[in-house]
Amino acid sequence: MIDVRVSKVSKRFRVPDHGQGRRRLFGLLPGQEPFWALRDVSFEIRRGEALGVIGPNGSGKTTLIKLLSGITAPTEGEIEINGRLASLVEVGAGFQPDLTGRENIFLNGAILGMNYREIARKLPSIVDFAEMGSFLDVPVKRYSSGMFVRLGFSIAAHLDADILLLDEVLAVGDVAFQARCFQRIEELRQAGKTVLLISHDLAAIERICSRAILLSRGRILQDGDPRDVVEAYQASVQGLLAQDHSEAPGPITVTGLTFGTDGTGPVATGKPFRCCLSYEAREPLEDVVVRLSFNWPSGYLCTELSAGPGLRLEQGPGQLEFDCPMLTMQRGLYSTDLTIERRGEVLLSRPRCLMLRVGAGTVVRGDFYLEHSARIRTPPLTTSA
């Protein structure tokens, strides 16, 4: 059964042209330049699928979810939704600011077509999940953005919707809340619900979704297995490590970061592991520390490679190599943070600059592989009859 059908959908916005645009009227009103946020997008979502939507900033992800939830209408094309839909698109969207959390829960349930008794039955689980405490009877306009998201997710994920649309929910809450969201999404999937999730957290997309779409400049570049789509996206993303142009250039620039092994195929548990960082120092740098941190999909620090303190970098281009005789990390996708410091002063910080994919090598039960051996010292005891 098809829950969502998007056929040749395009969305055009008109953006004010404040320059010397030819459309300016007598020089008094700003002109309107057409801009296509989505162009000729077609896909279907089957009942029970969890579809991840990824892509760079401004690629049209939020516009897509707003079209699906009916917040805005397509300029061209058609959207068909079969089922009750709950969405969490923007912090605070779907809430009446002067009503309390409790009243908003009943309002949202009523919009989904549920009666008072059904909603009252779900209320405790919604409140529990969102950890509302005494805020349940406070007008939601007094809520922090984190509380909005907790309540919004909890409502969407506990009321009887068939289709759940979630835009970057996992980015706002804290790590513990994110973990509970993952778990709840998994439960909903197992219950046969349809989920569409937008996230910049590629590891989460790989973990939660059964399928993914890569958007770029309003068009679908790839649609398929999350792992393939995430890889295609990573391959297309250039210059994450490059200096942000809004920053003044610091004394050091990173020009490349690669992960590899000893030439025996891709990075995998139990194999040797090598990281190579290429840089350009604008001046000789003393007392430097370089850190590469690898984070679990949940955001927690998994482990770290560091060089220094006391590292001296000569002026000009150079390479720093980290060698691990055996990679003990479990298979999976880890985000990498890079930091370069000099005597406590941060010279360069690139959070989430690259993903490390660790393949299945040595089979590991648990979180880590522990290098070990086992032997028998004495003959086994025999029992006499």
Ligand X SMILES: Nc1ncnc2c1ncn2[C@@H]1O[C@H](COP(=O)(O)OP(=O)(O)OP(=O)(O)O)[C@@H](O)[C@H]1O
Nearest distance from C-beta of residue 75 to ligand X, angstroms: 12
Least distance (Å) between residue 326 CB and ligand X = 38
**Binding to ligand X by residue 59, rule CB under 6 A?**
yes
Taking alpha carbons only, the member of 164, 221, 212, 211 closest to residue 187 is 164
Task: Return the SS3 of 187.
Answer: helix
In this complex, which beta carbon is closest to ligand X, that of residue 197 or of residue 302? 197
Helices (H), the chain: 61-68, 101-111, 116-130, 145-158, 169-172, 175-190, 202-208, 226-236
For ligand X, the closer of residues 16 and 284 by Cβ is 16
Q: Which of 58, 146, 224, 256 is close enough to bind ligand X by CB under 6 A?
A: 58
Mention every residue, 6+ apart, whose C-beta is less than 8 A from residue 157.
86, 129, 164, 181, 184, 185, 188
Q: How distant, in Å, are the alpha carbons of 144, 375, 376, 382 from that of 379? A: 66, 11, 7, 9
**Cis peptide bond prior to 309, omega within 30° of 0:** yes
At its nearest, how many Å lie between ligand X and the CB of residue 52?
13
Binding letters toward ligand X, positions 266-305, x by CB under 6 A:
----------------------------------------
Shorter beta-carbon distance to ligand X: residue 29 or 326: 29
> Which is closer to ligand X, CB of 12 or CB of 180?
12
**Contact status: 55 vs ligand X (CB under 6 A):** yes
Q: Work out how close the CB of 42 gets to ligand X at its nearest, in angstroms, rounded to a whole number.
A: 17
Q: Which is nearer to ligand X, 32 or 339 (CB)?
A: 32
Alpha-carbon distance 328 to 371, whole Å? 8
Report whether 282 contacts 251 (CB < 8 A).
Answer: yes
**Is the CB of 55 or the CB of 361 nearer to ligand X?**
55
In whole angstroms, how close is the CB of 197 to ligand X at the nearest point? 13
Q: Which of residues 4, 6, 9, 37 is near ligand X by CB under 6 A?
A: 37
Question: Which one among 10, 32, 62, 339 touches ligand X, defined by CB under 6 A?
Answer: 62
Tokens encoding 329: 């990390």
Per-residue DSSP letter, 209: -
Binding of residue 15 to ligand X (CB under 6 A): yes
Could you say whether residue 13 binds ligand X (CB under 6 A)? Answer: yes
Question: Two tokens at 27?
Answer: 């020089």
- Smallest separation (angstroms) from ligand X to the CB of 333: 19
Bridge partners of 41? 9
Binding site for ligand X (CB under 6 A): 13, 15, 35, 37, 55, 57-63
